Structure 1
């Protein structure tokens, strides 16, 4: 027996290495069982053609940024269920970026904010849009009277050039030069 063979036989396997290898072998074994168990089936031709039989397709524009790529939103009972790119759209020419292709998932997200909320006494409470706007206006008025430079206005990639101009003008009328653009918002 060579020196290398003796060293390999005498080396110990640590607990962490053993657990990693055990977990890996379990995962490989389980995936092999699932793959051979026929738990999936081929989609039927009807499911492939229209899985949402009562839906309608609506041509619209992606709102992920200000480019305005075309999408075809599929809507069922007022709910956006899926989307595809608009092949004939003059801006996107049938293309889609990763943000735009994920818009439907963002809209359908369980953690999406759907109405104004305020935290009172450590608990989130739903408020009306009018109450939310009144609270915002009250705070902005307070800041403008105290020191308008403590406020900053941010634009985003969803805004057109004209909208960015209006944000800049609004900031100037408010009394601050703190205006910026953040493309990732």
Structure 2
């Protein structure tokens, strides 16, 4: 029964017909609405060279993993507005991986979590940093008291620098467990 339905649907519109219709729809639909001269214009030569006048370039390190590739961040009024690869950097030698190339988007994302949240009664509620840390500390202390230190596992992240990973491991040892791991297995 199901195969008959699929067969009937597939003979209604063939693959070639579908592709032709999609091409026609994209040409007439998208092009006419977005390529109007009133909507877009060519950038001036000055805008291409210096799109953010008054900004400053800051050499920094990509924080995506612990390799330490070079990034040149362009900052205007305290906001990261553009990035380039550090061509003279001894580690990355003028290249980036996909994570490094996307670093600015991670920092500027509208959906990035910027403060602690907790879900209570099915609704997300913003917490203060002190309240969040107190809740975590209380929960860890309760788990350690009830089930022992090995009831907890500390899982690291590729977003950690070498130094952060070092302190993370030291914290786990201080807590009393050897249960640590890291998810960046590339």
Partner of 1:94: 94
Question: Is 1:28 paired with 2:20?
Answer: no
Partner of 1:175: 176
Partner of 1:73: 73
Q: Give TM-score scaled by structure 2 length.
A: 0.78
CA change 1:115–1:165 in 2 (3 A) is closer
CA RMSD of aligned residues (A): 2.8
Structure 1 position 57, deviation (Å): 0.9
**Which of these residues, 12, 15, 38, is aligned with residue 14 of structure 1?**
12
* Unmatched 5+ stretches in structure 1: 1-12
Structure 1 position 18, deviation (Å): 10
- Contact 2:115–2:129 (CA<8 Å) still a contact in 1? yes
Q: Secondary structure at the match of 2:88?
A: coil
Partner of 2:120: 120
Q: Distance in 1 between matches of 2:95 and 2:136?
A: 39
- 21-30 or 57-66: bigger deviation: 21-30
Q: Distance in 1 between matches of 2:138 and 2:182?
A: 25
- Contact 2:62–2:69 (CA<8 Å) still a contact in 1? yes
Q: Secondary structure at the match of 1:30?
A: helix
Q: Aligned residue pairs: how many?
A: 173
Partner of 1:47: 47
Q: Secondary structure at the match of 1:81?
A: strand
Q: Distance in 1 between matches of 2:103 and 2:94?
A: 16
* Unmatched 5+ stretches in structure 2: 1-10
Structure 1 position 160, deviation (Å): 5.0
- Contact 2:63–2:161 (CA<8 Å) still a contact in 1? no
Q: Secondary structure at the match of 1:73?
A: strand
Q: Distance in 2 between matches of 1:105 and 1:36?
A: 26
Partner of 1:8: none
CA change 1:52–1:160 in 2 (3 A) is closer
